[in-house]
Amino acid sequence: MTFNLWISGANVNNGLQKIAKHIALINPDIAALQEVVSIDALNNLTALLGDEWTGICHQSKDSPDVAIITKHEIHSQSYANTSRGIGVRILVDSWYFVNVWSVHLDYLSYGPYAAYNKLVTSMDQIMAGESPRSGQGASEIVGGDNMMKAPTILWSSGNHVCSGGDKPALNTLQTVNLIIENWIQELAKTLVVDEKEGKTCTEKSV
């Protein structure tokens, strides 16, 4: 499960309690969270869910943004992070591992925004929006300096990337056919993950 908490429920009456209720109803083994405003918010959420739940969040930010919660055993020594995500290894049912990433991708890094701009004349301009100068998102997971230092077990088989991008990050640009030059191009956020063997985007397959 992936869940954007919308500032940890701060804009809704009893927001965190409602978030906990929804997660409990779905009852996932693992939930990747985005917009976690503080470590306290994460701890309060797991407390509301019950003693069997534990969590881990981005450890290099005062406001962690991304976190992973689970009813299974988190191997904290496998923790790795990028500017927009964290990865960790989880032991499920005491006998097999899954490696999970929670990422919160930049809503501005989205090719169709450029495609709908009538001034765009080439695919290079569209793809430039998918590769910002900072906060590379999915690119950092597969090839950034941080990942080169991360535990290699996070790139073994059975990986899952749970994306919390604020706009659909996994579609092709087929919608622009109605507007400009019949371009169809897969978006970089999907490609950089799919091209690394063994990755699964939760929005594409569950």
Q: What is the DSSP string of the chain?
A: -EEE-TGGGTTSTTHHHHHHHHHHHH--SEEEEEEE--HHHHHHHHHHH-TT-EEEE-TT-SS-EEEEEESSEEEEEEEEEETTEEEEEEEETTTEEEEEEEE---TT--HHHHHTSTT--SHHHHHHTTS-SS--THHHHHHSHHHHTS-GGGGSSSEEEEE--SS--S-BSGGGGGTSTT---B-HHHHHHHTSTTEEETTT--
| Residue 184 within a domain | yes
Burial 17-36 (b: 16+ CB within 10 A, else e): eebbeebeeeeeebbbbbbb
pLDDT of residue 121: 74
**Contact, 160 vs 204, CB < 8 A?**
no
Looking at the domain assignment, is residue 162 inside a domain? yes
Is-contact 118 126, C-beta < 8 A? no
- What is the model's pLDDT at position 180? 46
Establish if 76 belongs to a structural domain.
yes
pLDDT in tens, the chain (206 residues): 999 999 999 999 999 999 999 999 999 999 999 999 999 999 999 999 999 999 999 998 889 999 999 999 999 999 988 888 899 999 998 888 888 888 887 665 555 666 666 677 777 776 666 565 555 566 676 665 545 444 444 444 455 656 565 544 444 444 444 344 555 555 555 555 555 544 444 443 32
Within 8 A by CB and 6+ apart from 158, the residues are: 96, 97, 98, 99, 198
Q: Is residue 185 exposed (0-12), middle (13-18) or buried (19+ Cβ within 10 Å)?
A: middle
CA distance 168 to 112: 10
End-to-end Cα distance, the chain: 9
CA–CA distance, 112 with 68 (Å, rounded to integer): 29
Classify residue 206: in a domain, yes or no. Answer: no
What's the number of domains the chain is made of? 1
Within a domain: residue 57? Answer: yes
Asked if residue 17 is part of any domain, the answer here is: yes
Residue 179: domain span: 2-201
pLDDT at 158: 54
pTM for this structure?
A: 0.72
Alpha-carbon span 23 to 61, nearest angstrom: 25
* Position 164 in a domain: yes
Question: Which pLDDT does position 161 carry in this prediction?
Answer: 59
Looking at the domain assignment, is residue 10 inside a domain?
A: yes
